[in-house]
């Protein structure tokens, strides 16, 4: 699967919003989006034209893909799965994305960004109900216990993440226990738990065409 390995601050500038892709750096005055809050490229500072309806829908989809760090084919799969579920398709989509194991590791504060949490999962540092899971797209369920392996609790990335977790906050559907490097999924993520500036209805409109 293709993976973006270029400068991530360009992605925030392209989507015209802070996506918090660099962890703690995004909370400082060194944030690339704060220093240059205009689109990347040689024409970035020119007057911006108002996007069409399709353009708005496309940019919203791209923004959500970049927030969670997933590719088009996988994202489309999540949409079709959300459409088959009961309830509002857009909210179902966000719920599925929030339940990804790499996202839960990030939300619990074991890493300062999604790419770091994905690496923790891939390298086998994360346990779900005591079993090692190395699949970032694994969907957690209510009652699952997410923990960092005892040998992995000394990793600098984990320590740095927990230092700043109070500033970032932990969603209501997760319960963090810093002392044991673990957390529990107390329920399913609700729409109001997602504080990112996402207009999921635009994504639904895009894929419904």
100-188 has which CATH code?
3.10.290.10
Distance CA 31, CA 1 (A): 28
Provide the pLDDT for residue 166. 82
pLDDT, residue 107, reads 92
Can you give the pLDDT at residue 25? 58
- DSSP secondary structure string for all residues of 113-153: SHHHHHHHHHTT-EEETTEE---TTPBP-TT-EEEE-GGGT
Number of H helices, E strands in the chain: 10, 5
CATH topology of domain 9-97+198-207: Ribosomal Protein S4 Delta 41; Chain A, domain 1 (1.10.1050)
Give me the residues of the chain with pLDDT under 70, please.
1-49
Decide: 74 and 137 in contact? Cβ < 8 Å.
yes
Instruction: Give me the residue spans of the domains in the chain.
Output: 9-97+198-207, 100-188
| pLDDT tens digits along 74-84 | 999 999 999 99
What values do phi and psi take at 175, rounded to 5?
A: -125, 120
Q: Supply the pLDDT for residue 200.
A: 94
pLDDT in tens, 132-145: 999 999 999 999 99
pTM recorded for the entire structure = 0.82
């Amino acid at each position: 699967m293709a993976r973006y390995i270029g400068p991530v601050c360009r992605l925030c500038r392209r989507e015209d919003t802070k996506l918090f892709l660099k962890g703690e750096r995004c909370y400082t005055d060194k944030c690339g989006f704060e220093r240059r809050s205009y689109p990347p490229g040689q024409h970035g500072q020119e007057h911006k034209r108002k996007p069409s309806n399709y353009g708005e829908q496309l940019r919203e989809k791209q923004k959500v893909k970049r927030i969670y760090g997933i590719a088009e084919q996988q994202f489309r799969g999540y949409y079709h799965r959300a459409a088959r579920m009961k309830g509002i398709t857009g909210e179902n989509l966000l719920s599925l994305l929030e339940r990804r194991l790499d996202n839960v590791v990030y939300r619990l504060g074991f890493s300062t960004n999604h790419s770091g949490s994905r690496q923790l999962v891939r390298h086998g540092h994360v346990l779900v109900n005591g079993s090692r899971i190395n699949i970032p797209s694994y969907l957690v369920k209510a009652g699952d216990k997410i923990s960092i392996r005892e040998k992995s609790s000394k990793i600098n990335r984990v320590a740095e993440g927990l230092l700043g977790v109070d500033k970032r906050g932990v969603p209501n559907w997760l319960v963090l226990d810093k002392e044991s490097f673990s957390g529990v999924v107390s329920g399913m993520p609700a729409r109001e738990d997602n504080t990112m500036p996402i207009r999921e209805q635009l994504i639904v409109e895009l894929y419904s065409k």
